[in-house]
Structure 1
Amino acid sequence: MPSDTEVATTSANLLEPRTESKPAGVTLSLAPINATVSLRDQAYARLRQAISEADIYRSREEIRLDEKDLTEALGVSRTPIREAMTLLEQEGFLRTVPRRGIYIVRKTKHEIVEMINMWAALESMAARLATLRATDAEIASLRHMFDHFQNATPAEHIEEYSEANIAFHQAIVQLSKSQIIFDTIKNIFVHVRAIRKMTISQSDRAARSIEDHMKIIEALEARDTELVERLVRQHSLDLAAFVEANCDFLD
């Protein structure tokens, strides 16, 4: 099965997922695949990445995928598309509704909160391991993720900060150098990423987020195992509490 990084860097086609009433602004970015590698695996990687980057919680409308549109966007027959979608359904990203089609799975608020709680446990352990396994240079690289925001508030560049925020949390997991944690967390990440992106602009969360990140980086630099584990866990638990209190649109 392909890694999360086996995705196209440019988009030759834009697929607008079909819905019963198409939500504005929800698109999957896809590019034709290369027949020299398994078509199913490439289709799986492209679709999984596109789903992870889509704003699947922007609208209450369900996002339906159309096989014909997918085959045209990816430039392959329906067989590898169907095989890829079967894998994605097994992983919980898609669901088939008889006589209606295949839809991207949207989690309920309760499910999202539970996923964030799980993320808090896994990422905090990853941070703990990072103090023991990451090099000084690797930890120092975390600071550079926020260089762009030193002379401007995150709220002034909310889209860019949102991506930096997400990359920061991915980096902490990677610095743990634990394949088990990475493999366990990667499917949770798709939904947590979408919620982080939606909530970062609300209630001054961006400013508070960067403050938390700086404290986490300082604890990593100090190799303070107990402190960094506590800070990272609380950072995600705060997000869970915010979702619980403010994200009724998920139900």
Structure 2
Amino acid sequence: MHQLPVHQTPAPVTDAPKLNVEPLEAASSLRMLAYDALKRAITQMDIYGSAAEFRLDERQLSETLGVSRTPIREAMTVLEQEGFVRSVPRRGIFVVRKTKREILDLIVVWAALEGMAARLAATNASDDEIDSLRRLFNEFEATPPASPMHEYSQANIAFHQAVIRMGGCRLIVDMTGNLFLHMRAIRAVSVRQENRFEISMREHMAIIDALEQRDPDLAERLVREHTMGLAAHVERHGVFPE
């Protein structure tokens, strides 16, 4: 690979997604604070909303967070081990964007885990927890054409997080934690395509009905089919790295 002369720097990419991080307060573990801030910011990114790669600028992050580069580097090491970022020799550190094949595999794994969480939630979740799922979509049922896609996307993501949490299995919550970055971004992109909004709303309501009926078989099947429908959509329409 050709290396740029020392005095040159690559031109900035203007259409890359933005990483919103906040300054850190002084504390004993700056590495953990930096890790938490960066992981939170990366998780909230729309990493598949742009074709551009997103490079993390160590110097800029150091200035923004108000710490030296050492805790930034240490946090990056942990994030790379967890699969959130990757280090490219002579280029820098980039937020990981999975290939289309990897995304399809990831969706299959998520379907299995969330399906089991839904089965458990049908038995374990409280009535109020299940009712909270319906409240997430109240405004979108009333006026779907006027509902901003960003707001619906956030409700959609909150729904799936809640189902995982309501299952009450700590291991499923932990196993889906690092998958969530990509599932969140994939759902955010797909809900804006074709008629996924209408399909998503209808399927969410059916899942909530099954949970309210305390039907674990139906809840598991509907959640699994809902997520595998996302896989089929990505297979047909998804534009992701190869």
Bin of the TM-score, shorter chain as denominator length: over 0.9
| Residue 19 of structure 1, CA deviation | 7.6
Between the aligned partners of 1:166 and 1:193, the Cα distance in structure 2 is 6
CA contact (8 A) 1:120 1:236 kept: yes
For structure 2, the residue ranges without an aligned partner over 5 or more in a row are 1-8
Between the aligned partners of 1:215 and 1:194, the Cα distance in structure 2 is 23
Residue in 2 aligned with 1:108? 99
CA contact (8 A) 1:19 1:62 kept: no
Q: What TM-score, normalized to structure 2?
A: 0.92
CA contact (8 A) 2:16 2:54 kept: no
What SS does the corresponding residue of 1:60 show, helix, strand or coil? coil
1:235 matched to 2:242: no
Between the aligned partners of 1:125 and 1:20, the Cα distance in structure 2 is 47
| Residue 235 of structure 1, CA deviation | 0.3
What SS does the corresponding residue of 2:214 show, helix, strand or coil? coil
1:54 matched to 2:49: no
Q: What TM-score, normalized to structure 1?
A: 0.89
What SS does the corresponding residue of 2:232 show, helix, strand or coil? helix
| Residue 245 of structure 1, CA deviation | 1.2
Residue in 2 aligned with 1:191? 182
1:55 is matched by which residue type in structure 2?
D
Between the aligned partners of 1:181 and 1:234, the Cα distance in structure 2 is 19
The structure with the larger Rg is: 2
Q: CA RMSD in A?
A: 1.6
Return the structure number with greater relative CO, CA threshold 8 A, min gap 6. Answer: 2
What SS does the corresponding residue of 2:147 show, helix, strand or coil? helix
The count of aligned residue pairs is 234
Between the aligned partners of 2:10 and 2:126, the Cα distance in structure 1 is 47
Residue in 1 aligned with 2:134? 143
Residue in 2 aligned with 1:77? 68
The C-alpha deviation readout for 1:122-164, integer Å capped at 9, x for no partner, is 0000000101211111111111111221321166321100000
| Residue 21 of structure 1, CA deviation | 5.0
Between the aligned partners of 1:19 and 1:60, the Cα distance in structure 2 is 17
Between the aligned partners of 1:167 and 1:19, the Cα distance in structure 2 is 38
Q: Mark the CA change 1:213 to 1:19 in structure 2 (over 3 Å): closer, same or farther.
A: farther
Residue in 2 aligned with 1:209? 200
Picking from 154, 163, 175, the partner of 2:166 is: 175
Between the aligned partners of 1:134 and 1:54, the Cα distance in structure 2 is 30
Identity score, percent: 53
CA contact (8 A) 2:16 2:53 kept: no
| Residue 219 of structure 1, CA deviation | 0.3
Residue in 1 aligned with 2:238? 247
1:128 matched to 2:119: yes
| Residue 37 of structure 1, CA deviation | 4.9
For structure 1, the residue ranges without an aligned partner over 5 or more in a row are 1-17
Residue in 2 aligned with 1:6? none
